[in-house]
Amino acid sequence: MERGLMMLLHSLLIGLLLYVIMVFLMKQPARIAEDRSVLLGALVLVYMVLFGHGLPKRINRNIM
């Protein structure tokens, strides 16, 4: 499993990508897109820290 810092970087990139998609493709207001992309990026980070990049087979051993 990857280090937590790398997962943080990946979730940040996913959040930025979601923000760009929401603002430019979906034409959402920037403030709404900002909050939504931060929330989704945070959820992605929690998922990756718990389960890694794959499907949830087992919880990260470093958490327990």
Rounded to 5°, the CA angle 1-41-18 comes to 120
In a domain, 9, yes or no: yes
pTM of the model: 0.88
Supply the DSSP symbol for 42.
H
> Does residue 33 belong to any structural domain of this protein?
yes
Q: How far is CA 56 from the centre of its chain?
A: 16
Q: Is residue 64 part of a domain?
A: no
In a domain, 30, yes or no: yes
pLDDT, tens digit only, all 64 positions of the chain? 789 999 999 999 999 999 999 999 999 999 999 999 999 999 999 999 999 988 988 888 888 7
Based on C-alpha coordinates, what's the Rg of the chain? 13
Domain hosting 22: range is 4-51
According to the model, what pLDDT value does residue 53 have?
A: 87
* Domains in the chain, number: 1
Distances (CA, A) of 2 to 8, 28, 35, 54: 10, 34, 27, 11
61 belongs to a structural domain = no
For residue 49, what pLDDT is reported? 94
